[in-house]
């Protein structure tokens, strides 16, 4: 099965790259972009067929490697 993981910076953690993107969008004429937060999107192909087991395993993957939980949140989507 396929799994999709989004890793984003926690609220309260400054995102200078997001700010630079926001600024660049403004200078391209896209008005009204009030905030930009940049993150990562990770797609995994798993051999596991049980969604509950897959989710438990993905949780561990996020905690141990895919996200740094000091500064990042993650969300898991199983297709």
Partner 1 sequence: MKACVIVFPGSNCDRDLQVALRNAMGSEPEMVWHGDSSFGEVDLITVPGGFSYGDYLRAGAMAAKSPVMREIISRAKKGVPVLGICNGFQVLTESGLLPGALMRNANLKYVCKDVHLKVEATDTPFTQGYGNGGVLRIPVAHHDGNYFADDGLLDELEDNNQIAFRYSDGDGDLTEDANPNGSRRNIAGILNQERNVLGMMPHPERLADPALGGTDGKAMFSGLVEALS
CB contact at 8 A, 43 and 3 = yes
Note whether 70 binds partner 1 by CB under 8 A.
yes
Note whether 1 binds partner 1 by CB under 8 A.
no
Stretch that binds partner 1, among 16-24, 27-35, 47-55 (CB under 8 A): 16-24
Q: Binders of partner 1 among 23-62, rule CB under 8 A? A: none
Note whether 64 binds partner 1 by CB under 8 A.
yes
Which C-beta is closer to partner 1: that of 1 or that of 13?
Answer: 13
The CA-atom distances, in angstroms, between 1 and each of 49, 59, 63, 76 are 6, 15, 20, 13
Helices in the chain by DSSP H: which ranges?
16-27, 51-61
């Amino acid at each position: 099965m396929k799994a999709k993981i989004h890793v984003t910076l926690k609220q309260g953690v400054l995102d200078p790259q997001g700010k630079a993107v926001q600024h660049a969008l403004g200078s391209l004429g896209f008005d009204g972009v009030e905030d930009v937060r940049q993150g990562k999107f990770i797609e995994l192909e798993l051999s596991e067929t049980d969604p509950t087991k897959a989710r438990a395993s993905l949780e561990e993957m996020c905690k141990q490697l895919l996200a740094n939980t000091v500064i990042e949140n993650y969300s898991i989507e199983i297709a």
